[in-house]
């Protein structure tokens, strides 16, 4: 749980940095490629080739391609059809996908996890619902593609981890995850990227370094390790905890307009869902 909370705070700061220094000025595909490349370089020195079978390596790379590579491609394309509030609104379905996909992969059905995910979605909707434009269905479908990729990457890693040998040091094999994402991000930049919109300032390069090494490198690693230590219900809820956390950070750093009543109410509802999931997990374990 500590890993998930820490990464939530980390990513909350990262979204503010992207909005202030990169969005609208630096090509998004170059940003994604830089982040994935730097994250790969963080873990490549630790990579031990003999610890996983060929099937496990390919599966881990595939999960990285989904959770990081394809997710970003869907996510950035959605802004061609949707406003920022709409994109954020439509990401609130991710916890539902996490709960459903986790049950499907582990061949079980847990209604309580779905209930907690739905409660968290309701809380996030209160915070983020700002109205919907006339033509949004194309954008809605694209965002759901991003949500599904991110959710499947998380629960797929939980499933894959059950096949690892006991005591396996995850940092010695996690480079495969980023190499899979790189296999998607590199051709995406050459196909969709705009070389006329590369970083121009020291601040922009500094933000990219932070996002690549810390937010993407350490962030996705610890998020996925945290996903192994909590229930599927708690993991689903934590996917929406970033919304109130991101708003708080954005308010503190940039003094952006925020509806405090909706933030407090939505955050309280998400906290209730998290508490219910944690209580259920402890009861089941006991």
Q: What is the per-residue pLDDT across 133-162, written as a single tens digit (0 to 9) for each?
A: 666 678 778 888 988 898 888 888 988 999
Q: What is the per-residue pLDDT across 154-211, written as a single tens digit (0 to 9) for each?
A: 888 988 999 999 889 999 999 999 999 999 999 999 998 999 999 999 999 999 999 9
Distances (CA, A) of 233 to 98, 203, 236, 271: 8, 38, 5, 13
Q: How high is the pLDDT of residue 263?
A: 66
Checking if the pLDDT of 282 tops 60, the result is no
* pTM of the predicted model as reported, rounded to 2 decimal places: 0.78
Q: How high is the pLDDT of residue 136?
A: 64
Buried b (16+ CB within 10 A) or exposed e, 153-173: bbbbbbbbeeebeeeeebeeb
Q: What are the sequence ranges of the domains in the chain? A: 1-284
Q: What is the per-residue pLDDT across 213-270, written as a single tens digit (0 to 9) for each?
A: 999 999 989 988 888 888 777 787 787 776 667 666 666 666 556 667 776 777 778 7
Please report which residue ranges of the chain form alpha helices under DSSP H: 2-17, 28-43, 54-64, 71-78, 84-90, 94-105, 111-128, 137-161, 175-192, 202-210, 219-227, 232-254, 260-285
Give the pair of three-digit tokens for residue 88: 């954020």
CA 226 – CA 266 distance, rounded (Å): 24
* Highest mean pLDDT pick, 19-28, 97-106, 113-122: 19-28
Q: Closest by alpha carbon to 32, among 208, 210, 213, 221? A: 208
């Amino acid at each position: 749980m500590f890993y998930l909370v820490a990464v939530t705070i980390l990513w909350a700061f990262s979204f503010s940095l992207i909005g202030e220094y990169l969005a609208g000025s630096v090509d998004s595909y170059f940003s994604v490629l830089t982040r994935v490349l730097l994250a790969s370089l963080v873990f490549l020195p630790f990579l031990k080739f003999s610890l996983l079978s060929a099937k496990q390596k390919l599966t881990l790379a595939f999960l990285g391609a989904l959770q990081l590579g394809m997710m970003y491609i869907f996510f950035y394309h959605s802004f061609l059809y949707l406003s920022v509030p709409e994109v954020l609104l439509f990401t609130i379905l991710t916890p539902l996908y996490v709960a459903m996909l986790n049950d499907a992969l582990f061949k079980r059905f847990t209604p309580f996890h779905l209930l907690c995910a739905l409660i968290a979605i309701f809380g996030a909707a209160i915070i983020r619902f700002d109205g919907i434009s006339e033509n949004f269905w194309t954008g809605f479908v694209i965002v759901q593609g991003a949500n599904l990729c991110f959710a499947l990457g998380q629960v797929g890693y939980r499933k894959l981890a059950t096949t690892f040998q006991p005591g396996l040091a995850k940092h010695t094999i996690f480079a495969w995850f980023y190499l899979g994402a790189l296999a998607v991000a590199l051709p995406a930049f050459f196909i969709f990227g705009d070389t006329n919109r590369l970083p121009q300032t020291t601040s922009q390069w500094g933000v990219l370094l932070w996002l690549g090494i810390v937010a993407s490198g350490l962030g996705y690693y610890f998020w996925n390790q945290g996903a192994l230590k909590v229930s599927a219900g708690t993991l689903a809820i934590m996917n929406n905890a970033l919304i109130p956390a991101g708003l708080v950070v954005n308010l503190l750093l940039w003094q952006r307009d925020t509806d405090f009543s909706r933030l407090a109410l939505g955050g309280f509802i998400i906290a209730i869902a998290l508490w219910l999931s944690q209580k259920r997990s402890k009861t089941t374990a006991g």
